[in-house]
Structure 1
Amino acid sequence: MFSPRTDVTLLLSRSSLCAVSHFSALRTLQVHRGASAGFLLHGLAALFSIVCLLFPGHSVDSSGLWISNIIGLPLLVFSFFWLNGDHFTANLTLVCALLLATTYQQLSPDTRLVATHLMNAGASLSILVISVFTMSRYGLLGSLALGLWGVLCFMDAGRVTPFSTEVAADCVLGTAFLAFQMALRTSHELT
């Protein structure tokens, strides 16, 4: 069941990311269903990654993981815009993400990688701007953590931290998700 080559720290970090994503999905279910769906998509992607770690002979279709990343973050951005009354931008963000997700077969692997990083940067900046105008400290923390996650995906974190790049990225993304769900819950309670 457990391959001796499986990195236990990576398995633990993915498990914690999966737990944080599902916890955030449950906590934001009554706040906004779009955010809850975004967290759930990321939790399912982490769960499929855990399955791939535990059963190395089985592979998970990468299109599902890519689509969950491309749609998951825009669903969070959609929720931030929607809860702050900007319905046009919220809908535009979601429509663009859905159109991008349908082009998986036509894009090269390099283009998919660039699209993922651009989606991350756009989501981070959008939530940062909303958080600055609404003075949401949790939103600021989450958007900065999401931006750091994007940077960690580009660099070799093994030189900076005692952990691998994937472990550090999972920890930072989990922190971002916890901050986002707190920001959404705080925003909902104020209205």
Structure 2
Amino acid sequence: MNNHFITLGNLGLCVAASLNAQRLFKDHRAPAAGIFLVVCSAALSVLPATISLDWSSQPAALCADLQWAAEVLSPAMVSFGFLWLSDDHFTAYTLLTGSALLSMLTGWLSRDGLSVMSRCMAMSSLSCSLTVCLFAGNPLGILGSVLLSAPALVGLSGTSPLVSPEAAGGLLKLGLIGAMTVGCWAIRWALEIYVQDLKGWDKSNNILT
């Protein structure tokens, strides 16, 4: 029964992430790309339940890689968007470079090493988003960043030794899928609100000057 609920959860995540990635693409390319990774991961997670293929080798490995990318790289790309809007371009590029290097080094790291580096990347991304959103007074950004980073911090994809495969495949996984679904919506609204706030601040500064 859990597998059916997880499949439905991934399907809902795929739809929600698709809609939000499409809305973000015009003005926020990096966050849109990050959420599109969530779309790919969720869609590929649904396929085994709908298509009879041998998922024991190559497709399963691809699914695991995409799930890791959605968990770890998506929050980094979302944080890049917040940092870029706040004019902290140096930190934005540093975070993006770090996430790119981590994705290239995954094949060279042990399971424990990948777990540590993934959590460090997730914490860095989350701290950057939280810093910007706290100073901007953007509670939706805080909520979305926490929810989108939760799977990486918990270790949903199995890179963390703290979460057993049984726990990752049950109610915990379903809850984290739900968190990512809500997180995608919250991030999109947060970015739109932040842009409106920045426009309001610019108008106020122009009036004062």
Q: Do they fold alike, i.e. is TM over 0.5?
A: yes
Question: Do 1:31 and 1:185's aligned partners in 2 also have CA atoms closer than 8 Å?
Answer: no
Deviations 1:32-57 (A, max 9, x none): 11111111011111111112343462
Letter in 2 for 1:37: A
By how many angstroms is 1:109 displaced? 2.2
Q: CA deviation at 1:89?
A: 0.6
Q: Check whether the contact 1:120–1:146 (CA below 8 A) recurs between aligned residues.
A: no
Determine what percentage of the aligned residue pairs are the same residue: 22
Q: CA deviation at 1:174?
A: 1.2
**Residue 180 of structure 1 corresponds to which residue in structure 2?**
187
How big is each residue's C-alpha offset from its partner over 1:67-87, in whole Å with a ceiling of 9 and x where there is no partner?
444332211111110011111
Corresponding position of 1:23: 19
Q: Is the Cα–Cα contact under 8 Å of residues 31 and 188 in structure 1 kept in the other structure?
A: no
Match of 1:126 among 125, 128, 131: 128
Query: 1:57: which partner in 2?
Result: 54
Unpaired segments of 5 or more residues in structure 1? none
CA distance in 1, matches of 2:79, 2:125: 6
Return the offset for 1:121.
Answer: 2.3
| Partner Cα separation in structure 1 for residue 150 and residue 106 of structure 2 | 26
> Which of the residues 43, 48, 62 maps onto 2:44?
48
Could you tell me which residue of structure 1 aligns to residue 34 of structure 2? 38
Q: State the TM-score, normalizing by the size of structure 2.
A: 0.77
Structure of larger gyration radius: 2
RMSD: 2.5
Question: Bigger CA drift: 69-78 or 34-43?
Answer: 69-78
In 2: Cα distance, 1:145 partner to 1:70 partner:
12
Q: Structure 1-normalised TM-score?
A: 0.84
Cα distance between partner residues in 2 of 1:45 and 1:147:
15
Map residues 102-141 of structure 1 onto 2, 5 A cutoff. 102-141=104-143
SS in 2 for 1:171: helix
Preserved contact between residue 152 and residue 165 of structure 1 (Cα < 8 Å): no
User: Which SS does the other structure have where 1:24 is aligned?
Assistant: helix
Given that 2:130 and 2:145 are in contact with CA atoms closer than 8 Å, whether structure 1 keeps it comes out as: yes
Long gaps (5+) in structure 2: 157-161, 200-209
In 2: Cα distance, 1:44 partner to 1:64 partner: 7
